[in-house]
Amino acid sequence: MATNLQTPAPYHNNFLREVEERVEEGEWVKMCMQCGVCAGSCPFGPHWEHSPQKIFMMIRAGKREEVLTSDAMWMCTSCYNCVVRCPRQLPITHIMHGLASYAHRLGLVPKGQPTHEFATMFWNNLAKKGRVNELKLTLALYFKDGLVAGIKTVVLAKRLNPMEIFGGHAIKDLKGFQAIIAKAREIEDKKQGLTG
Amino acid sequence: MAKKEYAFYPGCSSQLKASASNYLTSVNSMCKTLDVKLTEIPDWNCCSASIGYCEGGELPRLAINARNFAQAETHLPGQDIVATCAACWLSARETKDRLDGSAQLMKETNEALAAAGLHYNAEVEIRHMVEVLIEDFGYEELKKSMKKSLEGIKFAGYVGCQTNRPFGISGESFENPLYLDKLVETFGGEALTKYDQKVACCGGALAFSEPEKSQKQIRDIVESAYDHGAEMIVTPCPLCQANVEVYQSEINKKQGTKFNMPVLYYSQLMTVAYGGSMKDAGLDGQLIRAEKLEKITAK
Amino acid sequence: MTVPTATSRMILVVGGGISGITAALEAAECGQQVMLVEKTPTLGGRTSQLYRYFPKMCHPSCGLEINLKRLRGNPNVRVMTQTEVVAVEGKRGDYRVSLKLTPRYVTQNCTACGKCAEAVSAEIPDAFNYGLSRLKAAYLPHAMAYPQRYVIDPSIIATAEGQKAKAACPVNAIDLEMVEEQVEVNVGAIVWATGWRPYDANKIQPYGYDRFPNVITSLEFERLADPRGPTGGKLLRPSDGQPAKNIAFIQCAGSRDENHLRHCSRVCCMASLKQTQYVREAGGDGKSTIYYIDIRAIDRFEDFYQMVQADTTVSFVKSKVARIALNEANNNPILHGVDTEGYHRYANEHDLVVLAVGMEPEITGLLANGGLRADIVLDSSNFIEGCAGGALEAGMFGAGAAASPLDVNRSVQSATAASLKAIQVLHKVASSEVV
Amino acid sequence: MADNKFAAYICAGCGIGETLDVKSLEKIAQKEGKMALVKSHPFLCSEEGVKTIQDDIANESVTHICIAACSRRAKTEAFSFPGISTARANLREGVLWVVAAGAEHDEVRQEMAEDYVRMGCAEVKKMILPQGNPDKTQAKNILVVGGGMAGMTSAIEAAEAGYDVVLVEKSGALGGFAKQLWKRVPFSAPYSEAQPTGVEELAARVTAHPRIKLHLNSTLAETAGAPGRFMIKIAQESGGVSDITVGAIVQATGFTPYDVNKLPELGGGQPNVVDQAGLETLARTANGAAIQRADGKVVNSVIFLQCAGQRDDSGTHLSYCSGHCCATSIKQAMYFKDANPDVDTMILYQDLRVPGMGEDFYRSAQDKGVTFTKGKATKVAGNGHGCSVEFKDLILDELTTLNADLVVLATGQVSNAGVDLDKWTEVSTAAESGDASAKEEQQRLRTTSVLKMNYRQGPDLPQLKHGFADSHFICFPYETRRTGIYAAGPTRRPMDLDQAITDATGAALKAIQAVENAAAGRASLPRVGDLSYPIVRLEGCTQCKRCTVECPFGAIDEDERRFPQFNEQRCRRCGTCMGACPVRVISFENYSCDTVGMQIKAVNIPDEDEDKPRILILACENDAYPALDMAGLQRQVYSAYVRAVPIRCLGSVNTIWITDALNSGYDGVMMMGCKRGDDYQCHFVKGSEMAYYRMSKIGDTLTQMGLEPERVQTLEIAITDSVRVAGLINDYVKQIKEIGLSPMKGFG
């Protein structure tokens, strides 16, 4: 199909189409009836500029730039309140995740979006060894922006072993694990038309 | 009753030497009493939690979860996968639902798994430890092995998000699930009847990236527990446990509160009720000591 | 009790609410023989529990009085209360219907003098007031109950209370030996007018109907407004009996929601608009706020909507309320949500919340006891669409709120139409007129 | 009436025997009530009690009975004696249950009971057993005006029930508006796709039906007569006129879409702007392929503007909502999507109104990719290639302008109900007073009439609101103000096809009922089955025309000498004419100036010094009287000084009753009727209204009699007012005592 990604006409369907085809669970966006229950259910609601229901309306209105650079989806705590209350049973959490991921792939995420950075780091951390090394993750964050996340106390509580920093948890078939990710990525990129 | 066997998916935080290792310890003691055999899924990998979406996208996330299923199917045939971590359980349940519901995704996922010579046959069931306790045993059955009562301790049953939504424990409501309260009462403890933060989100997913915002959540959760007269918080989720426990001191520092509310796992309560030692229950791993529970172990 | 003999030239109407009464009377006044069965002890149904109608603010009991007068004056209708359909066999023009008659323990002799109620001390929840009040276990269902005859609640039959009631009756109208009966009748056509029931508000967990005392349903609110209701017509909070001054009406409580009812229940918007006028008329400084997705005030009801919009005591918020929290200090519900028109977040405290609960077809009984046959077609919300095999073959018809979520006016139209359909069946069977 | 035999039966049950002196009640019935036979019974409604009455009827040839027991609303089955005139004296709900307990009230309680026995006897003395309207009608066939979906449905449904039908259609073919549709919205599960209209199939069945006679290219030239004997002139386009007689009429003349040219601000009249009807035409032409504009361009983007010229509070356009338009636009948007999913289809709405299962249809459209925007269009302008629509997005809270190839305006339904009778009355009054231009206007109006009735009250059905010929009553959607004539479909109320079909089926039943009632000489709603009818002594008539003017149902015409001509089959037995008649020549067999007047006179008025006021209550039998009954049922206590008489309607109250009452020494009169005004609740339309009007005139009479105006009260009492009514009575008694007792006592 000939969707023009650059200049979506207002209230015409091309951006909605783009979302339906390229964003996880994006085909649900059209089913929203603007009741606003998601907006009212989000614990971080007070902090973002666009509620999910508003994001969906913006998508229909063809506001591509504003949607993909919005901080809304980065505020999702995956609490699923919106999902269980939505009268149309939209998988809102996943749509928000999907939009975030899509914005990331297009490089449209505002610089320094903290959740974006943490999320990326988290994935890289797990992709490296197949499991998340909490200590490395937090220390990395520590050096990044001086966050003191009570991590020392956890160490003191002997629940985290500092020796983890050298080596630590890893899966045996790392090669296979990474091959799976690579293959999955390859298929998904093809689907999203992001190859080449 | 006959031994029950499950394919165990501990997850990154519950594995040995990780932040929720005390969860693992208490689960193991609890299972010992209940004669439950947990066998770790060989070479299991991270579920990518709910934060993995950004770089992980859709299919890679599904694929790495499916890898665990494939491993379980091959090495522990016929056994349900049991997760103790809410995030692991949720990611796995979601993956299973999505794959079972979409031939297309199933095909693509198996294409990816093939890269490591694996295949997912959609046979395995995904369950949370709490489901095992409630569905495979039931409160009455669980009570049978009780040695010590938790009498005289007021618990705030903090269910949080991910064991509760979107799937939840069957028969429970999203807004007012009662299973933690029922567990507490089963073992003689007192559960708060009114606890308005019961299903509030602790903001765990954004604890690092949006500390102020998530700490606001945590403050409400702890405050309400105090307001309603709780002495301890009990939870089924390692993320909730870690966040709510770890950040109290920081909130105290920043906001001058005097929080010192122990946050425990249901499995720790049960281990104590089953007569386990402080160590068995992983109470030694608490940042905020649960003295009242420790006393009971000493009895 | 004596059971009238039915013939295949007779129409059976199931359900004694306004749709059933209408279907029965319209046919009877065309000269047809009709049997009207109702499972509760009185005719009247849901409409008799409403205080007023939109948009005229007139009184349902006024229409009930006229209908009961029509009924008393018409020998063509035989009314059987406390009677349920348990099985239907046969075909169009010749149905054999099994009826279950549950005992009232009171005979035709009853003069409604009330002596039994005076004698009895046991109380039961008053179903007519949705349990908001209690009444004696020997009771008249409500002021306009038809038949005007007392009922002895089964709970006291085998007890000393039952004996007290029996002893108190001056005309020996109480028979504690009555037992359940099953009878079979032969009818030519059946009109299902089993009506609706309010959606179970407990299932709408975010609104805490089961947890918060001052969250009630729109049906309960009707009883509060009724001078003959539990509060003598005063709008009082259940928690402390204080007058409610700042009332929230939440639309689509269960309706338009795939977690509950797929359909729109049609009447709720108008019902809430009407109820804001109860608040205004209650005087004082009562205020109403309506939380809605779309206000569905169709045809000339729009005038009523515009009138309410102009009412300074009423405000509108375009929002599906996300959840209700409780102010534990004063039991006030706190509504959390977002006004989607321009996106404004709110946490509004009200002293009473009225849930405009949706309509469910009242057919569970039929489904359970096999009264509803496989050849009756239901839609995705279980409303009765009609018979399988097409309209021309049909001998059974849905009417009123059992057939679709309808307001009273449209229910009556639907019942009148169903009545003619039933008459056609008898006509064709009788005259073998084929068209 | 030599062979009349009167009997009174006094029940001692329900505590009457314990509380009242039944013996003295018997005496009163005998001596004052002049009853030939008087019996009391401990339990009159019992089988055995009823049998005593039946035996007396059989063996003692009793013809008239007065039953002194419970309210006339209770035990009706037990106390119904076919062929016997029966009056009820309300001792239980009316005395026992409302008068305060205790010995100190024994005297007044007994007096009250005695008066009710006197009244019952007095009433039955004057009652005549209604024989039913002697001129029984024959016609049982039904005329349906209008051959659209509703009209065809009424016709086929009546025919299928075995009644002959005459169907008159103005145009040359059946089908009406529905014929213009490409498809219709779904009526049944799964409510997801537009459906074929089925209009051809129905038209074929109607045409083929042996019981249906078709008159195409025809209209009505005149409607005369009454139910069971309507005389109709059918005028063919060709000029011919045929006369037929029918029993009842269904008017299903449909609607006209609101004129888009009245909506220039929304582009009405511009080439690339159509209304929903216009879009249907385009869709029919496309026949399932891509929809093209009139200029042949294939439409790639379309915007539907809901509520175009509707829900308008400015007074410029239609103020109401036509109900079907949201679903219709959804259906039409599907036309585009089904032909080509890439077409941009947007529906701009303020409230999306798809009640019931329409919600599934809405979901289905969203699933097909139809987008919905909550907003309000402010301007539609044509531009080179299409239209630009300026609107406010209410969710995003911003003004936007966007382009589309085509704009569809969802305009409303305007009823084809015919002449507005208010206008008609205005014009014809002017015409009667000789205004020439008014005469012309009257002629012009008459040509726009649908039914061309020769009724005094005008040529068409009364319109309720916004030009629709709807019923005023929630419980009784077919309660027409022109007996035997029923509106169906969008003529009655804005509606979609599904509702129109249901409505038309119901209307067919009511028409059938009307012919059966007329044939049996019975009344229809609300006094169903009433066999009494107004009888007028023309020799006494002064041709004042009040009865003809005030009849709410247009039942009374005037002959050339201006005498009233009663059309009994049109009559609803409310008695408004009886109340209106200054010379009291109108009466019913069982309800007359006498039956009520004698009750009033029968009451024993104590001397002034006894300080026992007597207050007459005239209570509407449908609301106020039941309210009084229920006050009793709830054991509300009210004064024993009142005497209540149930009346058919406040409109039937003849001022003579009031003046007689006051003359004979009553201290006050309470008239209790229904709510009046726009939301009137009177089932005889303006009974309450009339009473207020008439009482406003009685003031002078009162002052002439030297009485205070407060001595006559007119009240609105709802059936739910059982508590309130007791309070009102007690307050009024207090007020009367303050004013002082009537000086008229002893003169009456």
Q: How close, in Å, is residue B213 to chain A by CA atoms? A: 7
Same domain, A80 and A163: no
Average pLDDT over residues C126-153: 97
What lies within 8 Å, CB to CB, of B66 at 6+ separation is B95, B99, B109, B110, B112, B113, B120
Assigned token pair, A107:
């490089």
Spatial contact of A37 and C260, defined as CB atoms under 8 Å apart: no
Q: Which top CATH class is D258-413? A: alpha beta
What lies within 8 Å, CB to CB, of C214 at 6+ separation is C237, C238, C239, C244, C331, C332, C333, C351, C352, C353
- Estimate to the nearest angstrom the gap between the alpha carbon of D500 and the chain centroid: 20
Domains of chain B by range and CATH? 4-129 (1.20.1050.140), 139-298 (3.40.50.11810)
Per-residue pLDDT at C134 exceeds 60: yes
Spatial contact of C372 and C366, defined as CB atoms under 8 Å apart: yes
Report domain extents, chain D.
1-129, 142-254+461-520, 258-413, 605-748
What lies within 8 Å, CB to CB, of D631 at 6+ separation is D98, D638, D722, D723, D725, D726
Task: Classify C174 in phi/psi space as left (phi over 0), alpha (psi -120 to 50) or beta.
Answer: beta
Environment class of B35 (CB within 10 Å of its CB; exposed 0-12, middle 13-18, buried 19+)? exposed
Q: What is the pLDDT of residue B299?
A: 85
Q: Which of A43, A74, A105 is the last residue of a domain?
A: A105
> What is the tally of structural domains in chain A?
2
Q: Which domain holds residue A176?
A: 126-192
Q: What is the pLDDT of residue C7?
A: 66
Per-residue pLDDT at B14 exceeds 80: no
Helices (H), D267-406: 276-286, 325-339, 358-367
Could you identify the residue written with the tokens 């025997």?
D17
Residues of chain C in contact with residue A37, where contact means CB-CB under 8 angstroms, are 320-322, 337
What mean pLDDT is reported for chain B? Answer: 94
* Band of residue C283 on the pLDDT scale cut at 50, 70, 90: confident
Residues of chain B in contact with residue C323, where contact means CB-CB under 8 angstroms, are 175
Residues of chain A in contact with residue B57, where contact means CB-CB under 8 angstroms, are 24, 101, 105, 185, 188
Spatial contact of C74 and D527, defined as CB atoms under 8 Å apart: no
Q: Which CATH architecture has domain D142-254+461-520?
A: 3-Layer(bba) Sandwich (3.50)
Per-residue pLDDT at B16 exceeds 70: no
SS3 D389: strand
Would D258-413 and D605-748 be classified into the same CATH topology?
no
Spatial contact of C282 and C242, defined as CB atoms under 8 Å apart: no
Pairing of strands C359-361, C196-198: antiparallel
Per-residue pLDDT at A139 exceeds 60: no
Which of A1, A12, A31 is nearest residue D344 as measured by Cβ atoms?
A12
Helices (H), D469-619: 497-520, 546-550, 576-580, 593-602
Query: Quick check: A86 contacting D, CB < 8 Å?
Result: no
Q: What is the pLDDT of residue C392?
A: 59
Model pTM? 0.96
Chains D and C touch (3+ CB pairs under 8 A): yes
Tell me, what DSSP letter sits at residue B116?
A: T
| C-alpha pair distances (Å), D587 with each of A126, C208, D536, D541, D616 | 98, 62, 7, 13, 21
Strands (E), D218-310: 218-224, 230-236, 241-246, 248-251, 255-257, 273-275, 301-305
Average pLDDT over residues A82-96: 97
| Rounded Cα–Cα distance for residues C81 and C433 (Å) | 35
Average pLDDT over residues D288-305: 96
Spatial contact of D347 and D304, defined as CB atoms under 8 Å apart: yes
Per-residue pLDDT at D157 exceeds 60: yes
Beta carbons of A24 and B18 less than 8 Å apart: no
Q: What is the pLDDT of residue C367?
A: 66
Tell me, what DSSP letter sits at residue D562?
A: -
Which of D74, D190, D513 is nearest residue C380 as measured by Cβ atoms?
D190
Residues of chain C in contact with residue D476, where contact means CB-CB under 8 angstroms, are 63, 66, 412
Query: Quick check: C113 contacting D, CB < 8 Å?
Result: yes
SS3 D601: helix
Interface test with C, best of A28, A31, A35, A53 (most C CBs within 10 A): A35
Spatial contact of D231 and D225, defined as CB atoms under 8 Å apart: yes
In a domain, A46, yes or no: yes
Chain C, residues 361-390, CB within 8 A of chain D, namely 377, 379-381, 383, 385
Could you identify the residue written with the tokens 């007269």?
B229
Same domain, A43 and A101: yes
Q: What is the pLDDT of residue D136?
A: 75
What mean pLDDT is reported for chain D? Answer: 95
Which of C67, C144, C299 is nearest residue D493 as measured by Cβ atoms?
C299
Of D683, D498, D506, D472, the C-alpha closest to C26 is D506
Q: What is the pLDDT of residue C433?
A: 47
Of B221, B224, B225, the C-alpha closest to B156 is B225
Single-letter amino acid, residue C433: E
Q: At C368, give phi and psi (nearest 5°).
A: -65, -55
H or E segment and range at residue B63: helix B59-75
| Rounded Cα–Cα distance for residues D288 and D290 (Å) | 7
H or E segment and range at residue D65: strand D64-69
| Rounded Cα–Cα distance for residues C56 and D680 (Å) | 8
Crossing angle of helices A52-60 and A92-105, in 10° steps, is: 60
Which of C205, C208, C326 is nearest residue B174 as measured by Cβ atoms?
C205
Q: Which of A105, A139, A171 is the last residue of a domain?
A: A105
Query: Quick check: B176 contacting C, CB < 8 Å?
Result: yes
Spatial contact of D123 and D87, defined as CB atoms under 8 Å apart: yes
How do residues D83-125 score in pLDDT, each as one tens digit?
999 999 999 999 999 999 999 999 999 999 999 999 999 999 9
Average pLDDT over residues D388-407: 96
Per-residue pLDDT at D350 exceeds 70: yes
CATH of the domain at A73: 1.10.1060.10
Per-residue pLDDT at A168 exceeds 70: no
Using CB atoms, which chains have 3+ pairs under 8 A with C? Answer: A, B, D
Q: What percent of chain D has pLDDT over 90?
A: 94
Which of A36, A50, A54 is nearest residue C319 as measured by Cβ atoms?
A36
How do residues C331-385 score in pLDDT, each as one tens digit?
999 999 999 998 899 999 999 999 999 999 998 666 655 556 777 888 989 999 8
Which of C205, C326, C328 is nearest residue B173 as measured by Cβ atoms?
C205
Helices (H), D127-238: 149-160, 199-208
Q: What is the pLDDT of residue A147?
A: 40
| Rounded Cα–Cα distance for residues A121 and A125 (Å) | 6
H or E segment and range at residue D565: strand D564-566
H or E segment and range at residue D212: strand D212-215
Task: Give just the sign of the alpha carbon dihedral A16, A17, A22, A27.
Answer: positive
Residues of chain A in contact with residue C319, where contact means CB-CB under 8 angstroms, are 35-36, 40
Pairing of strands D142-145, D85-90: unpaired
Pairing of strands C123-125, D406-409: unpaired
Chain C, residues 259-278, CB within 8 A of chain D, namely 262-266
- The count of other CB atoms within 10 Å of the CB of residue D164 is 17
Per-residue pLDDT at A148 exceeds 90: no
Q: What is the pLDDT of residue A63?
A: 95
In a domain, A49, yes or no: yes
In a domain, A121, yes or no: no
Beta carbons of A126 and B50 less than 8 Å apart: no
Residues of chain B in contact with residue C326, where contact means CB-CB under 8 angstroms, are 194, 196
In a domain, A118, yes or no: no
- Estimate to the nearest angstrom the gap between the alpha carbon of B15 and the chain centroid: 13
Spatial contact of B6 and B39, defined as CB atoms under 8 Å apart: yes
Which of D43, D319, D352 is nearest residue C294 as measured by Cβ atoms?
D352
Per-residue pLDDT at A1 exceeds 60: no
Could you identify the residue written with the tokens 């039915």?
C6
| C-alpha pair distances (Å), B110 with each of A128, B45, B48, B127, D704 | 22, 17, 18, 22, 105
Average pLDDT over residues D356-384: 95
Q: What is the pLDDT of residue C368?
A: 57
Q: How close, in Å, is residue B55 to chain A by CA atoms? A: 5
Could you identify the residue written with the tokens 């019935």?
D29
Per-residue pLDDT at C38 exceeds 60: yes
Q: Which CATH architecture has domain D1-129?
A: 3-Layer(aba) Sandwich (3.40)
Spatial contact of B25 and B82, defined as CB atoms under 8 Å apart: no
Beta carbons of A54 and D395 less than 8 Å apart: yes
Which of A35, A50, A84 is nearest residue C320 as measured by Cβ atoms?
A35
Q: What percent of chain D has pLDDT over 70?
A: 99
CATH of D605-748 among 3.40.1350, 3.30.70, 3.40.50, 1.10.357: 3.40.50
Residues of chain D in contact with residue C420, where contact means CB-CB under 8 angstroms, are 157, 161, 505-506, 508-509, 512
Pairing of strands D344-349, C287-292: unpaired
Beta carbons of B60 and A185 less than 8 Å apart: yes
How do residues A104-135 score in pLDDT, each as one tens digit?
999 999 999 999 999 998 999 899 999 987 76
Of D265, A85, D495, the C-alpha closest to C260 is A85
How do residues D256-272 score in pLDDT, each as one tens digit?
999 999 999 999 999 99
| D27-31, D554-558, D684-688 — most confident range | D27-31
In a domain, A113, yes or no: no
Residues of chain B in contact with residue A172, where contact means CB-CB under 8 angstroms, are 43
In a domain, A5, yes or no: no
Q: Which of A57, A72, A105 is the last residue of a domain?
A: A105
Chain D, residues 658-677, CB within 8 A of chain C, namely 674-675
Residues of chain D in contact with residue A58, where contact means CB-CB under 8 angstroms, are 396
3-state secondary structure chain C: CCCCCCCCCEEEEECCCHHHHHHHHHHHCCCCEEEEECCCCCCCCHHHHCCCCCCCCCCHHHHHHHHHHHHHCCCCEEEECCEEEEEEEEECCEEEEEEEECCCCECCCCCCCCHHHHHCCCEEECHHHCCCCEEECEECCCCCCCCCCCEECHHHCCCHHHHHHHHHCCCCCECCCCCCEEEEEEECEEEECCCEEECCHHHCHHHCCCCCCCEEEHHHHHHHHCCCCCCCCCCECCCCCCECCEEEEEEEECCCCCCCCCCECCCHHHHHHHHHHHHHHCCCCCEEEEEECCCCCCCCHHHHHHHHHHCCCEEEEECCCCEEEEECCCCEEEEEEEECCCCEEEEEECCEEEEEECEEECCHHHHHCCCCCCCEEECCCCCEEEECCCHHHCCEEECHHHCCCCCHHHHHHHHHHHHHHHHHHHHHHHHCCCC
Domains of chain C by range and CATH? 10-101+180-195+362-431 (3.50.50.60), 115-168 (no CATH), 199-359 (3.50.50.60)
Of D159, D136, D199, the C-alpha closest to D516 is D136
ipTM above 0.90, yes or no: yes
| Rounded Cα–Cα distance for residues A84 and A90 (Å) | 9
Which of B55, B109, B249 is nearest residue A120 as measured by Cβ atoms?
B55
Per-residue pLDDT at C434 exceeds 60: no
Single-letter amino acid, residue D113: A
Query: Quick check: D371 contacting A, CB < 8 Å?
Result: yes
Q: Which residue of A has its CA nearest to B253?
A: A150
Query: Quick check: B277 contacting A, CB < 8 Å?
Result: no
